[in-house]
Amino acid sequence: MNGDAHISNFGLFGSPQGDVVLDLNDFDEVTVGPWEWDLKRLCASIEVAARDAGAAVRERRQAVLSAVSGYQHTMDDLAPRGSLDVWQRAARADDLEFTGIEIDTHSQAVVRKAVEKARRKNNKSLLDQVGERRTDGGWRFREEPPILVRVDEATRQGVTSGLEHYAETLPRERRFMLSRYHVVDVAHRVVGVGSVGTRAYVALLCGNSDQDVLFLQVKEAVRPAHAPYLRGMPDPYASHEGERVIYGQRLLQAVGDPLLGWTTIDGRPFYVRQMKNMKGEIPVARMVGQSLSFFTHAYGALLAKAHARTGDAAAIAGYCGHDGRADLREALADWAHAYGDQNEADYQAFRTAIASGRLHAAADPRL
């Protein structure tokens, strides 16, 4: 299971062949667990995001039903197929096809715009964004506190040493390619909401010239939130959280980052990936109407593809039924609605606690 399959953890990224694909793209919580938990996580996130976007009750429910329908349709389609066929299926963003639905004109325009933006995100564009020249002519990170700050020399050496060990986790041909690069700077970069408080570094490497650059993210891997309730990954992946993340990502993603690997720094587990790899997002959280239904269906389908790669597609399809079976869809839509109600009640209790002085909240730095 992905462990955190909410709508913001689906997105665009580049394949080794230069195609832009749409798939799951966050695997910090990956572990062995029930497929239902991932599907419920997706449904709950759709309900919460649609409420925040101001969607009506009926529209929110339809979006959730569409996600489950996409999961059912796709799992039913994959169940009789061979394992190699299942493993080779990737959703190219310029040719999105999902069983049970056709892409509408507006959704096509959204994808096209997102792909164009993603293609502009690469190592060179990131260098222009976060790099600056040193007095000796070389590159270094331009500090943007509190998001991007330079590290001390001991931390820099620790990360550099960690990247040397990381290279040993790559296939030989990729290790050879990486050997042409050397680390020129390291910074700490705050990432994500759930990852705040963990160690996350970004390393700037240069190759044959100072315009031949590579950015690597070196992110601390912590125990997944579901771990107390599950048996977890098999050995040897259970012994290193970074290896767990990378192993799970390689299993679940149809197309992956060729530079995925793991390492240990100061006794802590980390995983490593490219910082910019034509990454982009589809603004599903702000959508309503037909496009919301299409993309939620698509995300349900992509989740089914991931589960079919690692689980028994025939057994899952037999349990959840094809699209003609409505009871699973309706049950998950009811559950997601109740989750949304509880989420709103919890947030109101949080605001009340702040207003009464029981909790102290810092001022919004944007105001």
Q: Hey, what are 213's tokens?
A: 């650059």
> Which residue carries 């999105």 as its tokens?
96
Q: Where are the domains of the chain?
A: 7-120+280-355, 136-274
Q: How confident is the model at residue 193 (pLDDT cuts 50, 70, 90)?
A: low
Q: 366 pLDDT exceeds 70?
A: no
pLDDT at 268: 97
Contact 309, 86 (CB under 8 A): yes
pLDDT at 194: 67
Share of the chain above pLDDT 90, in %: 76
pLDDT at 322: 64
Average the pLDDT over each of 22-26, 104-108, 275-279 and give the range with the smallest value.
275-279
Q: 250 pLDDT exceeds 90?
A: yes
Contact 23, 281 (CB under 8 A): no
pLDDT at 142: 95
pLDDT at 137: 85
For helices 57-78 and 327-355, give the axis angle rounded to 10 degrees: 130
Measured distance CA(308)–CA(113) in Å, rounded: 30
Predicted TM-score of the model (pTM): 0.93
Measured distance CA(53)–CA(7) in Å, rounded: 14
Contact 79, 314 (CB under 8 A): yes
